[in-house]
Amino acid sequence: MEDQSERAKFFMSEGRRQMHDPDFVLKNSGLAEGMVVADLGCGPGFFTVPIAQKIGAKGFVYAVDGNQLMLDNLKDNIVKSGVNPKNVEIIQADVSKTEIPETSVDLVFFANVLHEVYDKKAFFKEVRRIAKPNGVVVNVDWKRIQSERGPPLEERLSEEQASKLLFENGFSVLEQIDVGPYHYMLVCEQKSSL
């Protein structure tokens, strides 16, 4: 098992970019300039930094992770990237209890997170709470295939399993996109009622 600092390094590495290019993912996510975005399970900022760059000075990112080491790395990566730190609020919290203001987020983004969430019902309740009524929800996760890196196969959710979970918790999948050899992306919208 690799230690947390090694994981943080890999999370920002070229090897990870080859698994799922953040530019391709964000181009297909519905992200636009000026949006308010929540990056749940942000880690050291593999997606947070390019999200902040793409939404620009009028946009805002809530970067949430429970691991302080990852958030310390995120702070460093924000500084290195030239992103204005005032446009990113870093929150150390469980992704199911974020303290983000209600109905304030245009796009809720989570990558390689859903398979790790223990209480998925509480997680999706939080996503619904923070998302604007017409908000977009984007889930990027590991395909249920064997790979050298990533979680054990039995922990992974297939596209169908993730789509079903999203639907059961109040989201309609608008698009399913293959974002690399080991990852898929589901772009969703919040249903008006459960």
**Model pLDDT for residues 108-149, shown as the tens digit of each residue:** 999 999 999 999 999 999 999 999 998 999 999 999 998 887
- Report CA-CA distances (Å) from 186 to 60, 65, 67, 89, 106: 22, 21, 25, 25, 16
- Tokens 């996760």 belong to which residue? 141
**Model pLDDT for residues 174-185, shown as the tens digit of each residue:** 999 999 889 999
pTM score of the predicted model: 0.90
Most confident of the following: 18-27, 91-100, 149-158: 91-100
Give the CATH architecture of domain 4-190.
Answer: 3-Layer(aba) Sandwich (3.40)
**Model pLDDT for residues 32-48, shown as the tens digit of each residue:** 999 999 999 999 899 99
